[in-house]
Homo-oligomer: A and B are copies of this chain.
Amino acid sequence: MYRDGNVKDCIRVGMFGMGVVGTGVVELLQKNRETIEKRVGMPVRIVKSVVANKKKKRNVDISSIALSDDLSFILDDPEIDIVLELMGGIEPAEKVILSALKSGKSVVTANKALLAERARVIFPAAYDARGHFGFETSVGGGIPIIRTMREGFAGDEIQEISGIMNGTANYILSRMTAEGIPFHDVLKEAQKQGYAETNPTFDIEGYDTAHKLIILMHLAFSGYFDYQSLYVEGIAQITLNDIEYARELGYQIKLLGKARKTKQGIEGRVHPTMVPNTHMLATVSGAFNAISVHGNFVGPIMLHGSGAGAYPSASAVVSDLVEACRFQLYGQKTPLPPISVQKKNLKSIPIVPIGDVETEYYLRFPVKDKIGVLWQIAKILSENHISIRFVIQRNATYIPEKPVDVVIVTHTSVEKNVQNAIKAIDLLPFMTDKTKLIRMDPD
C-alpha cells in the first residue's frame, strides 16, 4: 500500500493506444467511477497514455490524462501500477507487455493476435511476473470466457469448445439465412453500415476466429499450440443453396471455432459448420457471439453476448483492471496461473491434422441430371468407407443434362477419406462444378 514511503491514494494506470477500445475504457472509468472505487477500495485513474497521434481529436474527456508518443513515458515510470495494452498488432505491443511485466507492473491486454501468435513468449513472462496478467478482452469481447475457463472450469477436464466468435461472420450468415440475400450483397451492405471492415478478410476468412480459438485451447488443454497448425476455412463460399439445404435438414450454417479432445488427440479447426437447430449455438443470430464449453463434470455451458464493440470490450478490459487492482492492493503476485495450470505443467501439444478428423459431412454435388449419377457417387463414397445417412435430390421431373444438386449427408467419416472421395468424384464427367463440403455437428 506504500511506495517510496508515501501512502498510496489511488491506482495509477498507463494506457497504450487510445482507439475505439481505449476511449471506451476512459468513458467507462468516468461513468462508473463511484462503483469501481467501491469494488476496488480506492480510486482508479488513467494518468498517462501513449498514443500514435497526440493531436487527434477524441470523443471523451482526456484532460486528466498526460499524453506521449514515447513508450518509455509509461514503461519507465515506477508510479504506474497497471498497464493497459490496447494498441493491437505484434510490435511494439510485445515489447510493451514484456517490459511492463518485467518491471513488476500488472498488465491487461486485448491483443488476440499477439497472444495467439506469440503465446510461447508472452505467457511464460506472465508466469514469471509479480503482477497480474489479464486478457479477458482477447476472446468474445464482453463475454467472460477467459475467467470461466480458468476459474469456472477449474475442476473439470475440458472435452470440447465450440464457438461463434466473430460477429461480422455471424451477422452475414444470419442475414443470408433470414432474408435469402447472397453473401457478397450482405457483405457490401454490412460494410456500408459499419458491421464489416473495409478489408473484411480477417473476419470472413476465419483468421480472427482462429486467433480466439487458439487462446481458448491454451486454457482448455493447458499447453502451447501452434496457431499455424489450425485448420482455417472462411464463409465466402457459402451459397444460399447450401443454407436452404441446411434448413431442410434441420441445421443452421455457422462459422465455428472448434476444439475437442478425441482419441487422436486435440483437434482445432475453424470452418463453416452445420449446427443442428436443437443446439443453443444455432439460435445465436446477428452480431452476437456465443461459446459453448463442455466439461466432463459440468456438462455443456454456453456463454452468449456481444463479442465486440467499444463498450463490451471496455467492460472486459475494466473487469481485468479491477482484478489487477484487487491483487495489487494485497501487495502480492496473483495466484492465478495465466493458462490454468502451474508453469511446470505446460507442454507443447500438437493439433490433430485435419485429414485425421472424424465428423459428419454435408456434400453437395452439382451434376448434370443423368441416369447413374447417384450410383457412381455412392460407389466412390462406399469405396472410401463413407456411409450415407441422407440423400436429397430435388428434381421432380427428369430432364436429361439439366443441372441439379445431389446432396448427401454422411455418417461420421474420416476427413481424408472424404477428401479422397471428392477428388475422384470431381473428375466424373457429369459434374458441373466442384463438390461442396460442409462439416456437420452431430445432433
Contacts and interface: CB of A to CB of B under 8 A. Distances in A.
Interface in A302-327: 302-306, 311-312, 314-319, 321-323, 326-327
A409 B44 CA distance: 47
Given A24-B297, A148-B148, 4 more contacts: A151-B322, A155-B322, A300-B306, A303-B303
A12 B93 CA distance: 42
A322 B323 CA distance: 17
26 contacts: A31-B157, A35-B222, A38-B345, A39-B337, A39-B340, A142-B298, A144-B148, A144-B152, A147-B152, A148-B148, A151-B323, A154-B323, A155-B317, A155-B319, A295-B315, A297-B318, A298-B311, A298-B312, A299-B312, A302-B305, A303-B304, A326-B336, A326-B337, A327-B335, A329-B335, A330-B332
A28 B144 contact: no
Contacts of A40: 342
A323 B300 CA distance: 21
Given A32-B156, A39-B340, A306 B299 contact: yes
A333 interface: yes
Interface in A138-154: 142-144, 147-148, 151-154
B39 A319 contact: no
A43 B342 CA distance: 13
A311 B311 CA distance: 36
A296 B32 contact: yes
A146 to B, nearest CB: 9
Given A155-B36, A283-B283, A305-B301, A335 B340 contact: no
Nearest to A143: B301
Interface in A39-61: 39-41
Contacts of A301: 142-144, 303-305
A266 to B, nearest CB: 14
B155 A144 contact: no
A192 B68 CA distance: 70
A213 B319 CA distance: 23
A377 interface: no
A335 B342 contact: no
A154 B319 contact: yes
A110 to B, nearest CB: 13
A304 B302 contact: yes
A342 B35 CA distance: 10
A341 interface: yes
A305 B296 contact: no
Nearest to A136: B152
Contacts of A306: 298-300
A333 B129 CA distance: 20
A424 interface: no
Contacts of A121: none
A280 interface: yes
A22 B416 CA distance: 46
B299 A311 contact: yes
Contact of A151 (B28, B31, B144): B144
A249 B155 CA distance: 43
A350 B147 CA distance: 32
A327 B311 CA distance: 31
A278 to B, nearest CB: 9
A32 B222 CA distance: 14
4 closest A-B pairs by CB: A155-B318, A144-B152, A298-B315, A142-B298
A143 B306 CA distance: 19
Nearest to A31: B296
A40 to B, nearest CB: 8
A275 to B, nearest CB: 13
A73 to B, nearest CB: 25
A297 B315 contact: yes
Nearest to A222: B38
A155 B315 contact: yes
A296 B36 CA distance: 13
Contacts of A345: 38
